[in-house]
Structure 1
Amino acid sequence: MTDNGNTEIQNDDDRERSRRLSLQANKAPAEIEGYSIVRRLGTGAYGTVWLAREDRTGRMVAVKFYPHRRGLNWSMLSREVEKLAAVYTSRNIVRLLDVGWNAEPPYFVMEYVENGSLGNFLARGRISVEEAIRITREICSALIDAHGAGVLHCDLKPDNVLLDNQLHARLCDFGQSRMSHEQSPALGTLYYMAPEQADLEALPDARWDVYAVGALLYHMLTGDPPHRNEATQRRLEKSETLDQRLKTYQQIIHSSGVPSGHRAVRGVDRRLAEIIERCLAVAPGDRLPNAQAVRDEMDARDRQRTRRPLLMLGVVAPVLLMAAMVPIFVNALTRNLHVTEQQITDRALESDALSARLQAAGLEDELNDRLDELENILADPRLSSSLELMFQQSSDDVVVLVSAAS
């Protein structure tokens, strides 16, 4: 650009220089016998990765060159090849196929994984909870294999997780890895690196990889790694030296504590949130000890979620059954009450009728007794003589006689 803001027109020499630089960037550092270089896949801190075709089989492979100083080439190459050879049998780790120890620059050949890195997927945004859990479990499986072989990855991040044609995770790039017995520090990548790892005197620890697993899962669920925001980026950019930047990073994590953004994601249950938080614990002693423990916790969560419908069925089914039986019980009870009432009424009526018959029979007996007494009185001769005499006299005399008799 010129001072007035217009684009400066290149001359022929400038255009030729630009053309050579462009070709150099798109040309492999060397040719490899038995392989045809196709295109560049990516560039890292210590080497470039190229897509190549194996001439004999036509299989696509990835070739990593180490185009730096000879001494650094050998140390970096031998370190990564040593780790890849140790974990060769793991299906969750990219396999080593060939090594060019004496080439210039040195290189090694590994499997080509078709769908690129997890970082490319996350550049489009966060993924579903189910996919994030599946990928995390596969990463844990890779780390279990690596830890079992005595290898600590030490730089787990989205760009170091590749996805094959079925979107299964394959762990790669062991350039920063350490054997468990090594006593040399290994810096990871900011926001995925455990706080105690951000120290040039730190000793390798399996809990570094556990923190990175938590950071990866957090990133997949929320769309960003833990603690990364504009404020923390500005603080880190103000650091003038590596040591200052590492100390600032540690201060950010210690002051912020364990992030909680994952708890706001729909589908993240309490058990999953706790697993993430135990991976991202600031103090190593509060963290899950290794990748096996992380996967065990995820397995326990799966079992709990599997049992939950059965437990709910064990509680809800009896309630639903009781609810369904209530109308039947009510109808049966109502019918029984009606029958019982009718029976009681019928028995009461029968009892009343019997009482009435008994009372009538008693009255009839008493009436007959009175009639017998009356007949006996009428049959008395003295009563007959008195009546005849009374009929022969006047009414006044009768009154006097009755009064006298009284």
Structure 2
Amino acid sequence: MNRLSLLTKAQMRLATLDELRQAAKSGVRMRFEREREELGTRVESRVQQAEANRMHLIKAHLQRRAAIQERTKRSLLQRIIRENNYKECVLSAIFQKRAAAEKKRMGLLEAEKKRAHARVVQARRIAKTVYHRRETERRRLKEQLESRLQKVALLIESTTSLKTAKALLERLESRFSLLLSSGPSGVENIDHLLKHLASPNRKVPTNRTPGERGGTKRGVVRESRSVETTMSRYPVRVVLCAYMILGHPNAVFSGQGERETALRESAINFLREFELLIKVILHGPKSGRLSSQQFSDVSLDLHNESPNSLPREQSFRCQLRTFDSAWCSYLYRFVVWKVKDARSLVEDLVRAACRLELSMLQTCKMTAEGQTLDLSHDMRAIQKQVCLI
């Protein structure tokens, strides 16, 4: 019984506690709801107040910003006005200074122009004086050169020089022929080069029998003439031309090309060997022992050393062979230069003839058929003269 009563009391106490707990829980929930509503009301009011404050602040900020912009516009306008006034003042000052500087510059330029004109006049006067002096000196040197060239040409063209040189060269040719006949022949054939040097009336005629010529007497005359016109191995005028080439190259050559340079070098070498051969003939083999400097100062006035001018001692035969080798080289260069010079001369003559013909056609007003219009006496004389040319 006690146990049941205790259980009943305990259940009653638990039920009471549960009721109290439920009551407390409902009270707490109601209080929470009430407080939440109050808090929501306060928050809503604060939000509305904050929104009102924000709108008020935005309005005030916009007003301040508009005022600042207005002040900025007014200040910028005033600044622009001040800057424009300052620019106008500066531009006017610059214009005045520029005008003064331009006036001063024009004065300086005028003074400099006068000084430059005076210097130019003085320089022209000096240049004219120097030109006249140089022209006088050039004319004097040209006259001296022409006189020396004329003396050399007269000396080369004189009968005595030609006869003496021809006799010496014929003697050397005969000795060279004997030298070839006595030993092995390794000489270079230069007949094709000598043919270029022979004039048309001096060329060797073909060998024909006297019967073909129409008689014994005419055949004998032809044979004697063919013997006389046989070209020498050492033509005297070609040999003497080497001295002209060496002494006066500007008067001999029309240009300064490779052919002219090679011809002058071969002429120097040939004359060196020729004079050494003369010394060997006159004084013996020991006379060939010459230094290049002595030889250039005494004989040919050379400016460059050559291996052929080194000290040496040669016999007459060796020197004669060396002389002939140098002669062959010089003759080849001479023929090449002569052919080229003749070709250029022919081209110049053809060009001049073409220009003359064209000038005649333009002057006489010839038609395409070669007929001329009514010409005056002077025009017909010009046409006849050109046709004769």
TM-score, normalization: structure 1?
A: 0.22
Of Structure 1 and Structure 2, the greater strand share is in 1
Of Structure 1 and Structure 2, the greater helix share is in 2
TM-score, normalization: structure 2?
A: 0.23
